[in-house]
Structure formats: structure tokens, C-alpha cells
Amino acid sequence: MPEAPPDAAARRAVAPVAVYDPDALDRKIPDPGPLTPVDTIRVPPRDARAIHVPAGHVLRILSIEGAQVGDLNLFAADDLSERFFSGKTRALHGTHVTAGDRLWSCLPYLRPMATIIYDSLSWYGTDPHGCRVHDVIGTRCDPYTGRLLGGDDYHRCCHSNLTRALADATDLPLPEAEGHVHDVLNVFMATGFDETGRYIMKASPVRPGDRLDLQAQFDLLAVLSTCPGGDCGSGHSSDDAPCFPIDLQVLAPAPGVLEGWQVPPSNPYDRSHGR
């Protein structure tokens, strides 16, 4: 085992510094007021569906039958190259997100895609095992990792579900659609890290009636997979866990709410990169 340098203890004792100041992020958006349902899509177990969410409208992810987590991808409705950036969202808001936090798009756009305006599981906080809900840490379950670890090909994992649903929603060939599928927001999932730093998951606390409400900051295409792990308390990528549907609802804000409100522009950096 390598020997620690002489100043190792002093380095370990240095207090950490936050990379970003949350107060510097503009979280002010119009309160949508009374909401009017305009569209609903039911996502079957071990499958995925896509839904369009106009700017200012609310995407409600609703538990309806049993404990079930969902893997969420977000895209700009008119440009699939602008998609959810889980890593930057994690850096700006933390490993898990809740009401008041925003979901950010990838570089070079880097603008808020949606703001979480309601989280029925905010009471969960941090449990005795260090787990919280709605993480932007873990990737979606996928058939490539399953094959790498010696399993059989399994086609109902979240990566494959999202690929099929995106292809269906856009009429893209399956390989092209797969190239746009990205790391997710793990909706309703309870996760954290163990004492060695390994990613862990446990049974979700979600129950029928729980929901996460996201207000779209510009026109979005949302794609959600109902994970084959069900509540993700036992495993992934199999047909063993009990699984349930999840509803995707789009709700319109009250009349007049969006007057004077502007869609956030793409990041103003000039993209010259010093050249």
C-alpha cells in the first residue's frame, strides 16, 4: 500500500468549499396557478412513452397503482441535440433534486429545461442509510452492462425502453434514436452511497398518489421508462420484480400567467474557446 505523504492528515482536515452558490441561480418562474389537464399518457410496466410539454405547462409524473420508479429523459422538442444534463444538474443542485431545483440542458446550450414545483416525497429527506429520493447520480439500467456482467440479453431495461419510445415519437431509426438517449433523472428512486462510496439503491417510498411536478421552461419532449426493477429495492434488468404503470400528465397554467414571461435563451457564451 502506498505511503501517505507527510502533509496527508492536514490535507484531509481542510474544510470543503461548495463549487456553486445555490442563491446565485435564478429560480423565479411564474406560479402556474390553477392547472387544467390537457393530455395524459399511461406508461405500461417495463416500457416507456413520450409526451410533449409546451413551454410554461406542467409535466406531472404520477404514481397510480404501486411502488414504481421511472427513468426520465428530456429533450428540446425541436432539437434533440439539446437534452438533459444530469451531471451539471448534480453539480448545481446536488445528488438528489426536489421542489425549487431545476433540470439543466447539455452544453453548449446550458439553460434550465424545467423547474420542479412540487414533490410529494420531499418529507423523505435523508434516511438512516444516507439515501434520498429523485437522484441524478445513477445511469439508466441497460442491456450492455447486463451482457458485460455475464447475463443474457434483456430488452426491457430503461435504456432499451427509452430508445424504443424515442424512436416511436420521432420516427427515427432505432440506432439513431439510441444515440440521443442519455443519463436520467431517477424519479421516485431512493439512492445514496455506502461507506466505500459505492452507489446503492433501496425500495422506493413512492405510493399511489405521489407525484413530481415539473414546469417546462421551453417546449419539451419528455420520455419516461417504468424501470423493470419496480421499486428498485431488489434489482434491475429482469422480469422478477413487481412493476406498475406511471401516468404522465400535461397540465396548462391558468390564463394570463405566462404574460410577459420569456423562454430562457441558450447560454450566451460566444463559443470561441479562445481561438
Residue 11: CB atoms within 10 A of its CB come to 9
Which letter does DSSP use for residue 13 in this model? H
User: 106-135, pLDDT tens digit by residue?
Assistant: 999 999 999 999 999 999 999 999 999 999
pLDDT value of position 196: 95
Helix (DSSP H) and strand (DSSP E) numbers for the chain: 5, 13
User: Is residue 155 within 8 Å of residue 147, measured between CB atoms?
Assistant: no
Which letter does DSSP use for residue 130 in this model? S
Give the C-alpha distances (Å, rounded to integers) separating 251 from 28, 31, 179, 216: 19, 13, 30, 11
Q: At residue 269, what are phi and psi to the nearest 5 degrees?
A: -55, 140
- With CA atoms as reference, report the closest residue to 56 among 114, 104, 118: 114
Which letter does DSSP use for residue 140 in this model? P
Burial class (CB in 10 A: 0-12, 13-18, 19+), 84: buried
CA distance linking residue 57 with residue 221, whole number of Å: 12
pLDDT value of position 10: 86
Q: What is the pLDDT along the chain (275 residues), one digit of tens a residue?
A: 788 888 888 888 888 877 777 666 766 677 888 999 999 999 999 999 999 999 999 999 999 999 999 999 999 999 999 999 999 999 999 999 999 999 999 999 999 999 999 999 999 999 999 999 999 998 999 999 999 998 789 999 999 999 999 999 999 999 999 999 999 999 999 999 999 999 999 999 999 999 999 999 999 999 999 999 999 998 777 888 999 999 999 999 999 988 888 899 999 999 999 99
pLDDT value of position 151: 79
**pTM of the complete model:** 0.94
- With CA atoms as reference, report the closest residue to 187 among 96, 126, 115: 96
Q: At residue 37, what are phi and psi to the nearest 5 degrees?
A: -65, 135
